[in-house]
Structure 1
Amino acid sequence: MGGVSGPIDPPRDGEGDRGAERRGGGGASHSLRRPEVYEARKARREMSLPEVLLWQRLKGSPQGIAFRKQHPIGPYRADFYCAATKLIIEVDGIGHDLGDRPEHDVYRTEKLERQGFSVVRVLASDVLHDPDAVADSLVVLASSPPPPPLRGGPPPRERGGS
C-alpha cells in the first residue's frame, strides 16, 4: 500500500477548499486570466473622493437606471458606466490637464464613440462643489435614449418634384 503514514496536517488557510473557486473565492487564479478585471477591482477600492461622492448617489439604480463603477471596456476602464444606454462617465481631475493626457483623453473618447459608446466628462471640481446636481444630471442623461448612430454621407433628399 502506497499511502501516507502518520497524521495529516490540516490545510493552511485558503488551501484545500475546492468549492471556494466555484463560489468566487480561491485566490488570484481568475484575475490572472483577465488582468483588466483585477485592475478594475483594485480601482474600485481606491476611488478618488469625487468618484466616491458620485458613486454614493448613483449606486442602487436611481430612477431605475443602473450604473457600474470602474467598469472595464476593452483596454480601458470607465469611472462609471450605464449599460442600458452605453453611457461612459469619466470624472476628470487636475491630472487630465497635464502632459499628454488631454490628447490621450481625446483619442480614447473618439475610439469609444466609434464603438457605439457615449462618453461624458465631468470635472471633479463640479462633483466636489455639488455632487447631487451632477448625479441628477447624469441620471437624466442616462435615462434618455441614445442618439442614433451617425451614418456617412449627406442626409436623404426629399422625394418629389424639383
Structure 2
Amino acid sequence: MRGNAEGLTKRQLLPATTVTRSRELRQNAGEPERRLWRALRESSPILKFRRQVPIGPYHADFCSHAARLIVEIDGDDHAVKSESDAARTRFLKHEGYDVIRFANADVMTNLDGVVAAIGVRIAHRQKGRP
C-alpha cells in the first residue's frame, strides 16, 4: 500500500502552502544555487538531485533521496543563524539524511571543488553498497 493508513502520501499530507513555497524558492533561486544545480545535473544524473525539497518544516536546497544526502548553500545571513542551522541539521539527520553545507562564496569561486566534495561524501555514504 502506498501512503499512510488512509492512502495519503507524504506530499498529500503537506499543507498546500508548502508546495507553493517550494515552487517559489525554485523560481527565485540565487546565482550560487543555479550554478550548483547545473553542475549536479551534469555530474551526477543518476542520483537525481531535487531542488527545494520539503522535509518536515524545512526546505532542503538540494536533496538526493537515493544517496540520502542533502546539500545546503548558505548565504551571508547564515553566520548569525548558526543555532537554527544546527537545529535544522539535527532534524534532517534524524530523518536519515547526511547534510553537507557550502557557503555561497565557495560555490561561486570553486564550483569544481564543491562538486568533488559532494562526490566524495556520496562515495563515502555508499561504501559497501551495491
Q: Which TM bucket (shorter chain)?
A: 0.7 to 0.9
TM-score of the superposed pair, with normalisation by structure 2: 0.78
User: What residue number does 1:116 align with?
Assistant: 96
Matches within 5 A, 1:95-110: 95-98=77-80, 101-110=81-90
Structure number with bigger Rg:
1
Code of the residue aligned with 1:128 in structure 2: it is M
Find out whether 1:67 has 2:68 as its counterpart.
no
Code of the residue aligned with 2:53 in structure 1: it is H
Residue 125 of structure 2 aligns to a residue whose secondary structure is coil
Question: Using the alignment, how far apart are the partners of 1:131 and 1:63 within structure 2?
Answer: 17
Residue 50 of structure 1 aligns to a residue whose secondary structure is helix
User: Unpaired runs of 5+ in structure 1?
Assistant: 1-29, 148-162
User: What residue number does 1:76 align with?
Assistant: 58
Question: Using the alignment, how far apart are the partners of 1:61 and 1:36 within structure 2?
Answer: 29
CA change 1:66–1:143 in 2 (3 A) is: farther
TM-score of the superposed pair, with normalisation by structure 1: 0.64
Question: Using the alignment, how far apart are the partners of 1:120 and 1:129 within structure 2?
Answer: 18
Which of these residues, 95, 102, 112, is aligned with residue 132 of structure 1? 112
Shift of 1:145: 3.0
Find out whether 1:35 has 2:17 as its counterpart.
yes
RMSD: 2.2
Question: Using the alignment, how far apart are the partners of 1:56 and 1:105 within structure 2?
Answer: 25
Identity between Structure 1 and Structure 2 (%): 36
Aligned residues between the structures: 115
**Higher share in helix:** 2
